[in-house]
Amino acid sequence: MATPTNSPASSTSNQSISKLWYKNYMVWIFVIGLPLFVVVACIWFVFYSVRIQDSTVRDDWYMDGKTLYADVSKDKLAHDLGLTGQMMISHQAVNFKLEAPVSDKFNAPEQLAVEISHATQKQKDRDIIIKRLSDGSYAGNVQLDPSKGKYYIVVHDPANSWRLRAIEELPMAKSIEFKPLTAFDKQPK
């Protein structure tokens, strides 16, 4: 007896051939493709995060419990000594005039340290030593990046006991004024 061509056994066999999983584009996209893409992206992000690390903060911070505090004792000493300064900065030269009231508490050092830190790019940071000239001002050489950017400038003594800070847009700034923090002006009694 001959079997008809539309029998249930022949229909199942044709459907199973046409519905093989590896011939279905939905399987390749959603079941294999997307998870494979996510695994490759995760591996790349792990590699990238390990290779490129965040730079550390260039200031005096300490941790007390779960809270970070800035150490402002150096700023307070500069305020108490009455220190101010005026800096002229160009692409290659730094001139700094330190102004301090005449006092037996403060002797002007022979050299000062200047830290010029870019706000976001560590490779543009510069640390220099400026030396005292015969007229009482300080001078030194620096090679700044020519592109404009926000910089944090810190001037301090070699012992790092006091510091003056300023924020400027370099290399555009011609004259930078350094004053102690005003938070110490009105101390509670």
Contact 139/133 with Cβ under 8 angstroms? yes
Mean pLDDT calculated for residue range 162-188: 84
pTM of the predicted structure, to 2 decimals: 0.67
Beta bridge partners of 132: 138
Cβ neighbours of 162 (radius 10 Å): 20
Convert the pLDDT of each residue in 118-146 to its tens digit: 988 888 899 999 999 999 899 999 998 88
In this model, does residue 40 exceed pLDDT 90?
A: yes
pLDDT at 7: 57
